[in-house]
Amino acid sequence: MEHADQTYIDRDAYEPAYVQLVRMLRARIAAGEFHPSGRLPSEARLCESYQVSPMTVRRAVNLLLDQGLVSTVQGSGTFVKKMELGAATFGLEAFKALVQDPDLARVKLLEARMVSADERAARKLGVRVAARVIYLRRLLFRAGEPVLYHREHMVYDPTRPIVEAEMEATSLQGLLAGSGETDLKGGVLTIEATVLRDDEAVLLGGTVGDPAFRLAHTFHDFDDRPVSWGWFICGGDRLRLRACVGAWSEA
């Protein structure tokens, strides 16, 4: 059962019992049945009310903890947390949606060449100034319209497969959509407000000075070494950041 007003565990549902329990407890918190700083029913009471095992209750409570909705106090129980705007997390779903559909999205490789790392690129990539690095420029289209302009500097090491993979124009699309293979461990993303510059305005079909977003990235391999550093540029009307706080959730 998947309705917001669910009040019992559906044993025939594809969802695990603890996921259903989380949804029901979230609904009760959102409805004000459990107030901020108020205590949730005890483990034994939840087991009795929903006819589930202690393990199911513990998994549900742990998930609520991960979601930032509750906190536990040793010997006292589990309590609903007050809403904290500082805990809001903005996802990149809107950014991902720009290139997620392979039928609507296309990646065009504009440039790929060796360059000497300037001071900034050398610092970001952990190489010496003037070291050879790969410089890439890409333009991403959606439904035939340019939506993202991407610049990237990569460490040059022909023995590492990441270099050959990233030279393919379509690898970027796979990275954004969460598909394909990659040797990347993780990275840091930073979103900033900016304006379109000369080349960016021409490529994205805008006007110099138009509002824009700049999403900078630095990716690392599994040896914690920087692999690539670059940034995406998109028009200010292309990206909308949204987050839900507290027990609020959208259908």
- Residue 155 and residue 164 in contact, taking contact as beta carbons nearer than 8 Å: no
**CA geometry: angle 30, 31, 32, nearest 5 deg:** 90
Domains of the chain: 17-82 (1.10.10.10), 93-235 (3.40.1410.10)
d(CA 205, CA 141): 12
Q: What is the pLDDT along the chain (251 residues), one digit of tens a residue?
A: 344 456 788 888 888 899 999 989 988 887 888 888 889 999 999 999 999 999 999 999 998 988 778 888 888 889 888 766 555 556 666 676 666 666 667 888 899 899 999 999 999 999 999 999 999 999 988 888 899 999 999 998 777 655 445 555 445 555 555 555 556 677 888 889 999 999 999 999 999 999 999 989 998 888 888 988 999 999 988 877 766 665 555 44
**CA geometry: angle 29, 30, 35, nearest 5 deg:** 45
The two tokens of residue 142 are 């959606």
**Phi/psi of residue 58, each to 5°?**
-65, -40
- Residue 183 and residue 222 in contact, taking contact as beta carbons nearer than 8 Å: yes
d(CA 10, CA 45): 19
45 half-sphere exposure, CB direction, 13 A CA radius:
7
- Residue 98 and residue 238 in contact, taking contact as beta carbons nearer than 8 Å: yes
